[in-house]
Amino acid sequence: MTDATPSSGGYVFKPHERPFLAGSPANPDHPTRRKAGYLLIGIYLAVLGGFQNGLLLANLTSLQGHLALTPVESGWVTVAYNMTNACMSILLFKMRQQFGIQRFVRVAMGALLLANFVQLFDAGYQIELVSRGISGIAASCLSTLGIYYLMQGLPPKARIAGVLIGLGLSQIALPLARAISPALVAGGDITHLFDLQFALSLVAFGSVFILPLPPGEIEKAFEKLDLVTFPLLATGMALLCTFLVQGRIQWWTTPWLGWALAGAMVMIGAAFLIEHNRANPMLHTRWMTSKNILIFAVTGALMRVLLSEQGFGAGGLLATVGMINDQLVTYYWIITGATLLGLVVLIVRLDVSDLQRPLLVALALIAVAAFIDTRAGLLSRPENFYWTQAMMAFAAIYFIGSAMMEGLLRALARGMDYIISFIAVFSLSQTLGGLAGVAGLAAFQTIRTKVHLMEIGRELSLTDPAVAQAIQQRAAAYNATMADPVLRQASGAGQLIQQAGRDAAILAFNDMFFLIGVIASIAFAVLLANWLYNRARGIKPLAKELEALAAIMGGAKE
């Protein structure tokens, strides 16, 4: 059935123009000017999709101060975004199939406008939670729309590159948001940030209605059991996101976090159990738990954990030594440029017959960068991290594009109804891997900080002449403001303890960099051995999938 829309104008699509999949737009032969329009809008939407989350992450501290939030409340803002973004792509895929691409566009633009409109009124914490939850849905919609628009603007042979470009641009938006954020919140006024987000959403809204996507085909997609499975899965993912975010804030021994984790396991397990026994499942659990897909999911999640070195590791260390956002603008511009370079190299060098090579390159870059960063100290500044974090940024985009391509090929080779399962595996491994990476590294860094602080504390003794002299030097700074010598002495000792805490934190970050380097090196060695074995034996891991996909495409053309 065709997705009826006034834009179709009664035009009958040629066989090669028909949509490849129900719920996606058709691919008519556009004139050059219209192709250029689709391409520009696609680039804008793809960047905007990542920009929503990027602005949140970059300005979470400013938002916390603006709304007078506690760290726990600030954590709930992060949870609100991730819990809706984590698995909405599954529901949205079925919605496009059932109701058509045009209704999907209206929902996407409505969610985007609503999320950014309510923030204009600065209505407080509860409204901010709702807004961020809607933003998670809108970001998932925008990423898909960006890819569809890019594919309309590219020639037929290059349309698969639209998927990679859309995914890559959403990644570029994250450091880009951090690079421009200091200018937006200059003077501490975060309302300019809300104004920008709403203005950007208005431009997106106008663009998609000035140049709408071609209509597609629709089919019955939803079944009654979907109304049971999806709420179970979404609730379980929300609880898991809560556990990962609030665990590092309230610490893992907080009793209710255990109940949240248990509830997440029960909910997700129940959803998978239902899907496993369905005649026409939404999620193909047997395929999702097969050896190749499990390796794909674990590898993807592990890479997100390792790549957390950039946001939590280097960013956290720079914050520890006193760097603020205004001093990191050049740093984030360099990361943005390296991410863009990684996207270009990925597209130019992509070889679907050897998708393990980009992963090898990414792991090698991560290992080298992490080991170099272990030399960080109290005098480290952003310029000391330019090369290493550029390597990390390049690795992030170079890996994620090839990983997504591998999963997509494996799903398409099994049939169109496996796309939802691929979306679930890919999006959940990336979202949860990112959250778990920050949570795990934060726990490791906290524990190592305490260990180093105890070691430093054992060396600090008032009977030690060097320690006594250090306290006296710091106490002397208060001579003009404090008349009481005892109070000056206590203040000097407090400063010495603060310095010991910073030293311990920096040593813990170095331990974390070393751990990441070791894990990346081990993963690189294992993957390299497998890659060399396949090369020596002439084994092509995706040969069967590529043959099956070629047969499907050949049948579709006929």
CB hemisphere CA count around 496 (13 angstroms)? 23
Confidence (pLDDT) at 382: 84
- Mean pLDDT over 507-519 rounds to 89
Angle at 536 between CA 532 and CA 537, to 5 degrees: 120
452: tokens are: 């180093």
Instruction: Quick: pLDDT tens for 168-182.
Output: 888 787 888 888 878
Please say if the pLDDT value at position 379 is more than 60. yes
Please say if the pLDDT value at position 442 is more than 80. yes
Instruction: Quick: pLDDT tens for 120-173.
Output: 776 677 777 877 787 777 777 787 888 888 888 887 777 777 778 887 888 787
Contact 116, 201 (CB under 8 A): yes
Confidence (pLDDT) at 13: 65
Best mean pLDDT range from 154-158, 170-174, 338-342, 483-487: 338-342
Instruction: Quick: pLDDT tens for 254-290.
Output: 888 889 889 988 988 888 888 888 877 777 778 778 8
pLDDT tier for residue 521 given thresholds of 50, 70 and 90: very high
Please say if the pLDDT value at position 48 is more than 80. yes
Confidence (pLDDT) at 493: 54
pLDDT tier for residue 484 given thresholds of 50, 70 and 90: low
What percentage of the chain exceeds 70 in pLDDT? 83
Closest CA to 193 of 324, 323, 334, 58: 58
Instruction: Quick: pLDDT tens for 68-93.
Output: 778 888 888 888 888 887 777 777 77
d(CA 466, CA 460): 9
Please say if the pLDDT value at position 7 is more than 70. no
pLDDT tier for residue 471 given thresholds of 50, 70 and 90: low
- SS3 state at 20: coil
d(CA 6, CA 143): 25
- Mean pLDDT over 8-17 rounds to 59
Instruction: Quick: pLDDT tens for 95-115.
Output: 777 777 777 777 777 877 877
More confident residue, 218 or 366: 366
pLDDT tier for residue 119 given thresholds of 50, 70 and 90: confident
- Mean pLDDT over 177-194 rounds to 76
Please say if the pLDDT value at position 226 is more than 50. yes
12: left (phi over 0), alpha (psi -120 to 50) or beta: beta
Q: Which amino acid is at 25?
A: P
Please say if the pLDDT value at position 460 is more than 70. no
Please say if the pLDDT value at position 555 is more than 50. no
From 219-223, 371-375, 448-452, the region with the lowest mean pLDDT: 219-223
Q: What is the mean pLDDT of the chain?
A: 77
